[in-house]
Amino acid sequence: MTFGSVVIMPNLSANSTELLSMTEPPLFRGHFQTEDTVVHDSNFTALIAVSAKPEVIESSRINVEPLSEVMRRLELGSAHIHNFRLAARNARNMNGKLELLEKTVSGDGLDLANALKGSNMIVSVPMKPVKIRDRPKNLNHTGRLEDFTNQDILDLIVFYNNDFGIVLEDDEEARRKKLLVFLTGSEELKQ
C-alpha cells in the first residue's frame, strides 16, 4: 500500500524536485519520491508526494486524503476563483450580457426547483449529469437579465443546485433580481 501527501500552492514556475525540497518537512526528507506527480491548473499547483513507508506518515500525524478528494477540492477551488472573476465582470456589465458561472455544488436541484415552480411550469430533468466547473449550455436566452424567464431560472436552479434565495411567493422580477445577486456576487443588490 502506498501513502501520500499533497501540497497545494499558488502556481509556481518550479519543477517537482524544487517543489519537494521547498515543501518537504525535514522529517520526510528521503522518504518521498516524485514521479510526474505535479498537477497544474491555471490557478494552483499540487505536488503529490508518495511514500512506501506508512510509518513515516503515521508518526507525523498528517491527514492523508485520497487523490480523488484532493482533485475534487482543486476543481472546486478553481471554479470559485473563476466565478469570482466572472461575477466581477457581470457586476460591471449588469445591463448587458451576463455570463453564467461555473457549477460549484454537486448534485442537481430538482427538489429545489419543484418547490418553487408555478402551476404552469415544468422542471426539466438534466439529460446527463453535470460536474463541478460545468457551465449551462442549453439555455435559450440572450444573457440579458430581463430576458430570463421563470422557466430559465428554474432550469438554472436545477443546474446549480442552488435556489438563489428565491421563495415560492417571489414574482418573476424578484426572481430575476435574486439571480442577478448570484451572478454578480453583489450583496448590495439584496436590499
pLDDT for residue 36: 41
Please name the residue that has the C-alpha cell 460591471.
Answer: 92
Q: Indicate the pTM of the whole model.
A: 0.65
Q: Where are the beta strands (DSSP E) in 17-174?
A: 38-40, 44-51
- Answer whether 175's CB lies under 8 Å from 150's CB: yes
**Could you read off the pLDDT tens digit of each residue along the chain, which spans 191 residues?**
334 444 444 444 444 344 444 444 444 444 444 444 444 455 455 554 544 455 554 555 445 557 778 888 888 999 999 999 999 999 998 888 999 999 999 999 999 999 998 777 778 777 788 899 999 987 766 788 999 999 899 999 999 999 999 999 999 999 999 999 999 998 776 65
Q: How far is CA 104 from CA 25, 50, 77, 92, in A?
A: 33, 29, 9, 22
